[in-house]
Amino acid sequence: MALMTTVLAASLALTAAVGVPKPEQGAVSVAGAFRSADDTGYGAVTYAPGPVPLGSRIHVTERVGDDGTWIELRLEGVQAGRAFGAHVHRSPCGADPADAGSHYQDAVDPVQPSVDAAYANPRNEAWLDLTTDAHGHARSQTSVGWRIRSGEARSVVVHEHTTATMHGHAGSAGPRLACITVPFV
């Protein structure tokens, strides 16, 4: 029992050290296989079956704590050797890529869509850009010092390319290729 307690304490210390909020504060995990956007309902949809094929998989995990929010994104079986942009969005996925709405922002830019680097940046939004390996698998994570406001974020969208940071283009990542609806805590 003492060894288990020591291992648990060490695990929690490591979690805190790398900026991952303690899971007991709140956690959500959603996984799914991408299906056609013509299929309505809850889950993962692809709008571009070339880079994000039907049946490829996505997994999103969110953990929240007193220090903020940690989010992980994993893709499996998508186009190999490719960089994608990915962000938390305000609305659930739908048949139209635009259904997911704009990026979730902790401090909301009064001008939408936001391309002002003062608002569209990885400290104010949850950016999860990633690059796939030779098998089409990738993993990314982000940790931010805030919690998502209840009901104001509903999905993670995978975009055509990595996220731009230049003023006037900040937060842009090209067309929406795929989406998964996530019930953020």
pLDDT for the residue numbered 43: 87
> What global pTM score does this model have?
0.86
Phi/psi class of residue 136: alpha, beta or left (left: φ > 0; alpha: ψ in -120 to 50)? left
In which band, very low, low, confident or very high, does the pLDDT at 40 lie, cut at 50, 70 and 90? low
Show the CA angle centred on residue 178, arms to residues 165 and 67, nearest 5°.
Answer: 55
For residue 34, what is the DSSP state?
-
38 pLDDT tier (thresholds 50, 70, 90): confident
Whole-number Å distance between alpha carbons of 108 and 93: 21
Instruction: Tell me which residue of 171, 143, 141 sits closest to 159, measured CA to CA.
Output: 171
Average pLDDT score, the chain: 88
Q: How far apart are CA 89 and CA 80, in angstroms?
A: 25
What was the pLDDT predicted at 18? Answer: 43
Q: Is the pLDDT of residue 137 over 90?
A: yes
Closest CA to 174 of 83, 58, 96: 83
The lowest-confidence range among 5-19, 70-84, 96-110, 138-152 is: 5-19
Q: Provide the pLDDT for residue 4.
A: 33
pLDDT grade for 25, boundaries at 50, 70 and 90: low
